[in-house]
Amino acid sequence: MSSIDEIRDIRIKKLELLKSKGIDPYPAETKREISLKEAIENFNNLETKKETKWIGGRIMSIRGQGAIVFLTLNDGTGIFQGLLKKDILSEDKFNFFNEVVDIGDFIEIQGIFFTTKRGEKTMETKDWRMLSKSLRPLPEKWHGLQDVEERFRKRYLDILMNPDIKEVFEKKAKFWNTIREYLVSKNFLEVETPIIENTTGGADARPFVTHHNALNMDVYLRISAGELWQKKLLVAGFPRTFEIGRIFRNEGISNEHLQDYTQLEYYMAYSDYKAGMEITKELYRLIGEKVFGTTKFKIKEFSIDLNDEWQMYDFSKLINERFGLNPVTEIYSKTGKKVTSSDLKNIYEKTGISHEDMEPNLARTVDSLWKIIRKEIAGPGFLVNVPVYLEPLAKRNRNNSATVERFQVIIAGSEMGKGFSELNDPIDQRARFMEQQALRDAGDEEAQMADMEFVEALEYAMPPAFGFGFSERLFSFLVDKPVRETQLFPLMRPKKE
C-alpha cells in the first residue's frame, strides 16, 4: 500500500500534466447548470426531454473497465451517477480522464439523463472538466477516520465520509432556527450584546482574560449571552429580547462541557418564573416535534418524554434528606447548629468530593452535593427552592425570602436550562454583588463580579421580568452524543509534527 506522501507525489504529477495541456486544475468559473438535488427531483422531465446539462461535484467512487467508467458525484445537495463511454466521449478525452482524475477530485460533466437497466438515474457524459484537483486521498469509505482526535481535527473529512455526522449538523441548524422562529413569533426582538466586557456577569464561571491594546486594559470574554445587557434593554423599554450567541468559560472539558459554545438567553418583561415554566415546556416540546419528529428520547440510561407531565424537584428538601444539611436554614443535622467550615470539610470527605485545595464554602459544597443527586433524576422537570446565596440575580421567593424564584430544567440527570424571576431591586442586587465579591476575594474564581453599572441601571427601575437560557448542550443531549461530537470544530491542541 502506498503512503500518503507517495500518493500525493503521483497526484502532483497529474496536476502538472493538466497544466502542460493548458488546463487550469483550479478554475474560477464553472459551467454547472443544476445541482444534483435538482437533477434527482426533475429527473423524469430531464430524461424525457433529453436535455443536455452540466452537473458537478466531488468524485466519491470510480468503477469500470475497458471502454466504460461509472463514477459517483456528490455536490453537498445529493449524490448522482455519471457514465463515461469511450465511443461517446471520444478516445482522447476518455483516456485523459483515466490519466489525471482520482477519487476526491471535483469535476463537472455534461450530458443527457437516462435510466440504467438496474434502474439507476444516470448521466451519459459527452464532456467533462476538472474543477479542483485533490492531492490527498479520501479516507477509506467503509471505515473512515477511526481515531476520535483525528475525526475532530479533520472534521471536514468526518462529515464528508459519514452521512450520519452531516445529518447531526443539519439538525443542529434546524434546532437553532426553530428556537429563533418561535421567539420571533412571540414578539421577541433579536439583539446582539458585547462579547468583550469590563466585568463578566450572568453566571458563576471562570472567564477568559485578554488584553485590549487600544484601551490598554485587561478585559474578559463574556460568560453569558448578554444577561446584564439584555436586562438593561428592559430598563430601556424593550419588552422582550433574545440573543443566540457565543459564550466562553475557561473551565474543564468533559462530555457535557466546552470552553466556547452557543447559548440562548431571552428576557420578557411583565412576567415571572411561573409563567416561564409554561413557555419553557412549550418550547422544548416544539423542539422535539419540529427538529426530531418526536418528544420521546433515549438519553444515556434514561427514557424521556417531553410530553409527560413535568415534575417539581425541591432542591433544599432533596439535599436535606440525603446529606442532613438544610441549605436554606444552613443547619447541619449532625450538630443541630449552623454549619461550620469543619462540618463542610467532613461532608467533602464522606462524599468524596474534591475541592481542589480551596477552603470549602457553603455555596460550593451545596452545589457539589446537588450534582450527586441530580445524576439520578430522569426528568423532565423543574428544580426549585434554591437558596438566595446560589443565585445572586434572581428575585427572592415571595413565600420564603431565603430562597429565590428560580427553576432549572432537569433532563437525564443534567441541568438543561435555567430561568428565574429577575431581581429588579437595586438595593438587594448591590448587597448580593458584595457577597459574591467577598467570595471572589476569598479565592472563589467562579463567584460573580460586582457590576455596579448594572446596579445603577436598576436604580432607574426595571419592570418585573422573567429570564431564561440554555446552551447547545441541550441539543447534544437530545441526540445522545458527547457535546464535542456536536460541535463542528471543537478546539484542539496544535498537532505536533
Q: What is the pLDDT of residue 444?
A: 77
Q: What is the pLDDT of residue 490?
A: 87
* Ordered DSSP codes for 304-363: EETTSPPEEEEHHHHHHHHHSEETTTTEETTTTEE--HHHHHHHHHHHT---TTPPP-HH
Q: What is the pLDDT of residue 12?
A: 97
Q: What is the pLDDT of residue 143?
A: 57
- CATH architecture assignment, domain 4-138: Beta Barrel (2.40)
CA distance 204 to 371: 15
| 418 close to 409: Cβ distance less than 8 angstroms | yes
Nearest to 237 by CA among 469, 461, 419: 461
Q: What is the pLDDT of residue 225?
A: 85
- The C-alpha torsion from 211 through 214 and 215 to 220, rounded to 10°, is -30
Strands 189-190 and 240-248: parallel
> Looking at domain 160-310+379-486, which of 3.30.930.10, 3.20.80.10, 3.40.50.720, 3.40.50.300 is its CATH number?
3.30.930.10
Cα atoms in the 13 Å half-sphere on the side-chain side of 2: 10
Name the residue ranges covered by the structural domains of the chain. 4-138, 160-310+379-486
Residues of the chain with pLDDT under 70: 1, 141-145, 202-203, 354-360, 497
Q: What is the pLDDT of residue 149?
A: 82
Max Cα distance, the chain (Å): 95
What predicted TM-score, i.e. pTM, was given to this entire model? 0.88
Q: What is the pLDDT of residue 333?
A: 82
Q: What is the pLDDT of residue 230?
A: 95
Q: What is the pLDDT of residue 356?
A: 60
Q: What is the pLDDT of residue 391?
A: 87
